Chains A and B, each alone.
Chain A
Amino acid sequence: MSNKYIYLDNAATTKTAKEVVDAMLPYFTESYGNPSSIYGLGQKSKSAVDEARQTIADSLGANSNEIYFTAGGSEADNWALKACAEAYEAKGKHIITSAIEHHAISHTCDYLVKRGFEVTYVGVDEYGIVKLDELKAAIRPDTILISIMFANNEIGTIQPIKEIGEIAKEKGIIFHTDAVQAYGQLPINIDEYHIDMLSSSGHKLNGPKGIGFLYIRKGLKLRSFVHGGQQERGRRAGTENVTGIVGLQAAVKRAFSIMEEKTKKEIELRDHLIKRISEEIPHCRLNGDAKKRLPNNVNFSFRFIEGESMLIMLDMKGICASSGSACTSGSLDPSHVLLAIGLPHEIAHGSLRLTVSEENTIEEMDFVVDELKRIIENLRNMSPLYEDFIKKN
């Protein structure tokens, strides 16, 4: 192995690409002007921000005045939900979302519930796909917003966004999608999918951390998120994160130019992992849909063992992965996503997520599976649940 680590946690964050860092550097020490200043140095920063906004708008088939920079995906999600709820509460106080959203959505919904809004959580099938009939049935005259993620961060399931967008459009309901895992990985056109708001984060696509954006369809009346100066059309005040924005632009350019080959390589690695794990490790289950799945996502549950132990042992071998076990979340409950697809608690605790990048190799995947087999065997030999299972059978 030439690398010190085998990094298989690209859904958590990605390596900042070299061209991204190169693009950012001059904006720290040379072109450091404030975009709101009228002299040349400031205007150079303003041009950079404008260009970045245009690049991102083009990638979605949007207009540049519909792109609002934020500090990341969670901020974009918070803004979309809270500001929409506040702006349209005269029409109604009902919001529809899914049972498998990121906490940036579900905890924001909890916040809105405390403030008098009603939220319906639409269920998913065993593969994690939102049930459209349930979604349709949940719509009421006072429904103001539907927020469904584009692709799930844990099990990688890609949602029927176009169908959901059509349902929302037909009923005149605003449609928001958390596309943090999907943007830059999958082609997205906001008109084709009837998306009114879309959240994204830079560091999931080899961009820097601390920058993201919210797409807001022109004409939507949303409360400003940060009050102050005229930045972001007065809706999100504060001096722009110019270096972050420039970095995000470079990341978007890169992601869209290599998307086809990156996807091909990731699917090859992903399917190799899925095949070998399914065939060689007993008592396992692939979580998520086999086909409607992000190119980089692998998620398995292994019976009789607990996820955190697996992660620590993988870490000893230089393998970075993640799990939906309670011990990794700081609470007693395992991942709400794994529970929503119908896994019992003890099986949800034994989940492992591996998210690859185009820089990984087949040799690395083989090393990971070989180590994983040993680790799982060790942990099972230590497990009272496995002992009971063997004695029963």
Chain B
Amino acid sequence: MYSEKVMDHFQNPRNVGEIENASGVGTVGNAKCGDIMRMYLDIDDNGVIKECKFKTFGCGAAVATSSMATELVKGKTIQEALEVTNKAVMEALDGLPPVKVHCSLLAEEAIHAALWDYAQKNGIVIEGLEKPVSDISEHEEAGEEEY
């Protein structure tokens, strides 16, 4: 059901861990739905993401999308990191099963939440960044009605 890339990032996740005194930390998802992602960013004075780490409670796809998201934002500027969408994460993983698409949304949201935290801490406004929603699942569509 998962692509080879998803399996690789699940079995050998990149950048697992914490960053002490991180520039920004964001936690999204909720335990009720079975997915929580926490993203740590270390951003230098030029606004470049030097380091990115994560911790995730969730399924294989949740771990793999977190891992891929950290890889995609590392070394990028804040503006470039904002362009790392859930679609970009999914493409980099060679796709996800339809029921797991929400994991990639969570990864995008985790990046935004960490950037939002960075902006708050430094009293700055990041253009194009809106206050992230912490609970992605609230916005998911209900399933088809059965008869």
Contact = CB atoms under 8 A, between A and B. Distances in A.
Contacts, number: 77
Nearest to B32: A345
A305 B60 contact: no
| Dominant secondary structure at the B interface | mixed
B55 A387 contact: yes
A306 interface: yes
A383 B57 contact: yes
A41 interface: no
Nearest to B37: A384
B59 A309 contact: yes
B27 interface: yes
Nearest to A380: B57
A325 B34 contact: yes
Interface stretch (A213-221, A228-236, A241-249, A330-338): A330-338
A383 B59 contact: no
B128 interface: no
B142 to A, nearest CB: 10
Given A381-B16, A384-B27, A309 B60 contact: yes
B132 interface: no
A382 B12 CA distance: 12
B71 interface: no
B99 A330 contact: yes
Contacts of A316: 11
Contacts of A326: 33-34
B33 A312 contact: no
A384 B143 contact: no
B34 A327 contact: yes
| Dominant secondary structure at the A interface | helix
Contacts of B57: 304-306, 346, 382-386
A308 interface: yes
Interface residues of A, number: 30
A385 B34 contact: no
A331 B34 contact: no
B143 A331 contact: yes
Size category of the B interface is 20 to 34
A53 interface: no
B73 interface: no
A265 interface: no
B107 to A, nearest CB: 14
A392 to B, nearest CB: 15
Contact of A382 (B55, B59, B100, B140): B55
A349 B137 contact: no
A382 B34 contact: no
A331 B143 CA distance: 9
A385 B34 CA distance: 11
A384 B33 contact: no
B36 A385 contact: yes
A316 B12 CA distance: 13
Given A331-B143, A387-B18, A382 B56 contact: yes
Interface in A124-138: none
B13 interface: yes
Contacts of B146: 107
B63 interface: yes
A326 B62 CA distance: 13
A332 B140 contact: yes
A331 B140 CA distance: 11
Contacts of B118: none
B41 to A, nearest CB: 15
B95 interface: no
Contact of A346 (B31, B61, B100): B31
Interface in A286-337: 304-309, 312-313, 316, 325-327, 330-332, 334
B10 interface: yes
Contacts of A386: 57
A307 B58 CA distance: 8
Contacts of A332: 33-34, 137, 140
Nearest to B29: A384
22 contacts: A114-B147, A306-B35, A306-B62, A307-B59, A309-B58, A309-B60, A312-B10, A312-B60, A326-B33, A327-B59, A332-B137, A345-B32, A345-B33, A345-B34, A346-B32, A346-B34, A346-B57, A382-B55, A382-B56, A383-B55, A384-B36, A384-B38
Question: Lowest 8 CB-CB distances: which A-B pairs, in order?
Answer: A346-B31, A327-B59, A308-B59, A345-B32, A384-B38, A349-B34, A384-B55, A383-B57
Interface of A: 107, 111, 114, 304-309, 312-313, 316, 325-327, 330-332, 334, 344-346, 349, 381-387
Given A309-B10, A326-B34, A383-B57, 12 more contacts: A305-B57, A309-B63, A312-B10, A312-B60, A325-B34, A327-B34, A327-B100, A349-B34, A381-B16, A384-B36, A384-B38, A384-B57
